[in-house]
Structure 1
Amino acid sequence: MLLNHQLKNLKRPTILREYDKQARLCAAEVRDYVQFLARLIELELIDRQRRMIERQSKAARFLATKSLDSFDFAQIPSLNMMQVLELARGERIDRCENVIALGPSGNGETYVAIGLGLTACQKGLTVRFTIAAAIVHDLMDARDERQLLRLQKQLVKQKLLTIDELGFVPLRKTGAVLLFKLISQRYKRDSILITSNLTFDEWTETLGSGRLTGALLDRLTHHVSILEMNGESYRLAQSRARQNS
């Protein structure tokens, strides 16, 4: 009972749960005390890593859990698989570089964005995933409620901010300006990942101003990896594959 109490106070739930079982296994396999302790610490670290990833993923607010391991790169020939896997290593996030995924709707941009965000969470990095129209709506609401500075601080401190579906919904002038200010605040500080169904030349249709679009792209593309995702719809191809299986 004393050991259980001490482990609870030390906040070592895995060791608390496993020590009796591991003691019996070590006795049966004639392992020494060091091996017993090493195994308990290993289990504690593995479980701590799992809990950390769960917390980071929950805080990121992903639409779904999509791993790059299950993404069928063959369905999008224009997408450079080695480029995506290199981005997944996280070194470009450490260097505060950006990623922009461009392609028609349904070509897996969101899937890849979530996959890259999940790998960042697995490395212990803070991530926030949001839809472009949603983040602009939140920024405008925060401004109206005099909470804009607080929200901006929350978004700026994320190591990776993913803005999905830029271009699906035209933004009001005020919203576009607020989005520009947020991206400017993150410029050279932390990474931004943006997905869009529009080419850069068409972003003015969403942002409403050629001047604002130029300034935004200037900041986003200073250090950027561009993922070209053109071709047949990824979702359609996956649906056909399921039907034929």
Structure 2
Amino acid sequence: MTRKRGLTEEAATASIDQACRMLRLPTIRQQFPDLAEGAARDQMSYRAFLAELLLAECDDRARRRSERRIKAASFPRDKSLRAFDFEANPNIDPATVNTLATCEWVKKGEPLCLIGDSGTGKSHLLIALGTEAAMHGYRVRYVLATKLVNELVEAADEKQLSKTIARYGRVDLLCIDELGYMELDRRGAELLFQVLTEREEKNSVVIASNESFSGWTKTFTDPRLCAAIVDRLTFNGAIIQTGTESYRLAHTKALAEQTQAS
């Protein structure tokens, strides 16, 4: 680029556009005209204007990083805590969920269990809390329990087990959904336990299950293995009981009543 003094407004704008392309500053390049007009209107100082530009770029980069982490988590659908209807399921304490949304438990590598019947909001909370963790800068991965076990069995058969476990171990929060929907044979249960123990004291895990802990013997038929897994997940961890009444039905009914009222 040729640097010249006394550029016209048009030339200066073109130079800024070119410089932003070279320096890879897409947000400044896009927002500069509006920010410049606002700065002139508000009589901002040069430093304040520069700060506005740089902060806009930083904020947008942080947003894009969050979007990439959320995409990398492989959530099956978008769910947020704002969209969760606590009135539809009074079993869930909003204060507890809001505390979990700070992601301190992820920072400390603690586990979380969501226990309740189908349709009580477990998966919604699991995905929403996982999304919050991704927005806080943590690496997150979502997976169905059966899919994870099948992947581990295939990896073991192909002599790739350590590599697969290491890949899951690199994420800060592993979200395992629908545990208990299918009985696991001893091999599958042992491989799942291996993933959980490899992550111990390093990374967090959140599990959603339609079975209470007492019913996990149906999923993990080895009593000792079942006890070890329960101990791993309950030691210093949080447990949320989502109950038995369908959250989806109550939430849908509430939305219908709001629509009729409006």
Q: Residue in 2 aligned with 1:98? A: 111
Q: Does the residue aligned with 1:207 lie in a helix, a strand or coil?
A: coil
Q: Give 1:2-151 correspondences, 5 Å limit.
A: 2-151=15-164
CA distance in 1, matches of 2:98, 2:24: 36
8 Å Cα contact 1:77/1:231 also seen in 2: no
Q: Residue in 1 aligned with 2:253? A: 240
Q: Deviations over 1:103-141 (max 9, x none)?
A: 001000000111111111111111111111111111112
8 Å Cα contact 2:111/2:234 also seen in 1: yes
Q: Residue in 1 aligned with 2:5? A: none
Q: Give 1:163-182 correspondences, 5 Å limit.
A: 163-182=176-195
Q: Does the residue aligned with 1:232 lie in a helix, a strand or coil?
A: coil
8 Å Cα contact 1:78/1:231 also seen in 2: no
CA distance in 2, matches of 1:150, 1:82: 39
| Distance apart, 1:8 and its partner CA | 2.7
From the CA coordinates, give the structure whose radius of gyration is larger: 2
Q: Deviations over 1:24-44 (max 9, x none)?
A: 332233222112111111211
Alignment-mate amino acid for residue 208 of structure 2: T
- Work out the percentage of aligned pairs sharing the same amino acid: 37
Q: Residue in 2 aligned with 1:185? A: 198
| Distance apart, 1:2 and its partner CA | 4.8
Unaligned runs of 5+ in 2: 1-13
CA RMSD of aligned residues (A): 1.5
CA distance in 2, matches of 1:139, 1:31: 59
Runs of 4+ in structure 1 over 4 Å off: none
CA distance in 1, matches of 2:256, 2:91: 24
Q: How many residues align?
A: 245
| Distance apart, 1:176 and its partner CA | 1.0
Q: Deviations over 1:35-94 (max 9, x none)?
A: 211111121112112101100100111111111112111222222221111111111111
* Comparing 10-19 and 81-90, the one that deviates more: 10-19
CA distance in 2, matches of 1:193, 1:213: 17
Q: Residue in 2 aligned with 1:223? A: 236
> Are 1:152 and 2:165 counterparts?
yes
Unaligned runs of 5+ in 1: none
Q: Deviations over 1:201-226 (max 9, x none)?
A: 11111122111101111212111100
CA distance in 1, matches of 2:30, 2:256: 45
TM-score by length of 2: 0.89
TM-score by length of 1: 0.94
CA distance in 1, matches of 2:158, 2:61: 38
* Comparing 52-61 and 146-155, the one that deviates more: 146-155
CA distance in 2, matches of 1:187, 1:29: 54
8 Å Cα contact 1:101/1:196 also seen in 2: yes
Q: Does the residue aligned with 2:191 lie in a helix, a strand or coil?
A: helix
CA distance in 2, matches of 1:172, 1:211: 14
